[in-house]
Amino acid sequence: LKSSDLPPAGKLRDAVVLRAFGSPDPRQIDGLGGADVLTSKLAIIGPPSVPGADIDYTFGQVSTVRPVVDYGGNCGNISAAVGPYAIDEGLVAAQEGRTVVRIHNTNTGSILKASVEVAASPNGLRSQVTGDCFLSGVPNGGSPVELDFSATSGSLSGALLPTGKRREMLDYKSLAGRAQVEVTLLDAGQPTVFVRASDV
């Protein structure tokens, strides 16, 4: 959604978003939401508020069970849609071939880059939709969008390795009782825990 089509950030904006998504309702039957945590997500796009960015992007996770929009992080899937949207809506100047869109993620205060394939159309330059890029679990192919999150490390914790360690042991409860597993904690656009599949 364009930020100019919404009230300013706050309770009224959240109420409008929740209503548009049909939340809270586990089925989101009366709205745009997809009734799943993976498909109940929001991108609010606006003009840049910091130097070095082409646009601002605010990510929102819309709850299906509570009247809440969580702005606490970012999402790679939604980030991949921001560059093509900005090009198609004329929010950034495009060039045929590839256009790089510098995206200020307001949730984390960092800038990521989206490299988008662009082609001429009867309506001018538009992001390329069709292509032979396939992702596991997605039934159809499309044009690739390359994301560069290299400037987003430590965006939530202040460091790429939040604890300063490349590897560490993490305690957890298993069916057999307390256990430990070796992990890597990483903050690169989104906090992530890496665990060897063979260890779980």
Question: What pLDDT band is residue 2 in, cutting at 50, 70 and 90?
Answer: very high
Q: Give the span between the Cα atoms of 67 and 14, in whole angstroms.
A: 9
User: Which one-letter amino acid corresponds to residue 49?
Assistant: S
> Measuring CA to CA, which residue among 47, 51, 73 is closest to residue 61?
73
* pLDDT digits 0-9 by tens, 128-187: 999 999 999 889 999 999 999 988 888 888 899 999 999 999 998 888 889 899 999 998
Q: Look up residue 20 and give its two tokens.
A: 């548009």
* pLDDT digits 0-9 by tens, 185-199: 998 877 889 999 998
What is the enclosing helix (H) or strand (E) of 11?
helix 11-21
- What's the pTM value of the predicted model, to 2 decimals? 0.87
Positive or negative torsion for Cα 69, 152, 55, 39: negative
- Residue 41: the pLDDT is 96
* pLDDT digits 0-9 by tens, 9-61: 999 999 999 999 999 999 999 999 889 988 999 999 999 999 999 999 999 99
- Residue 189: the pLDDT is 74
- Residue 10: the pLDDT is 97
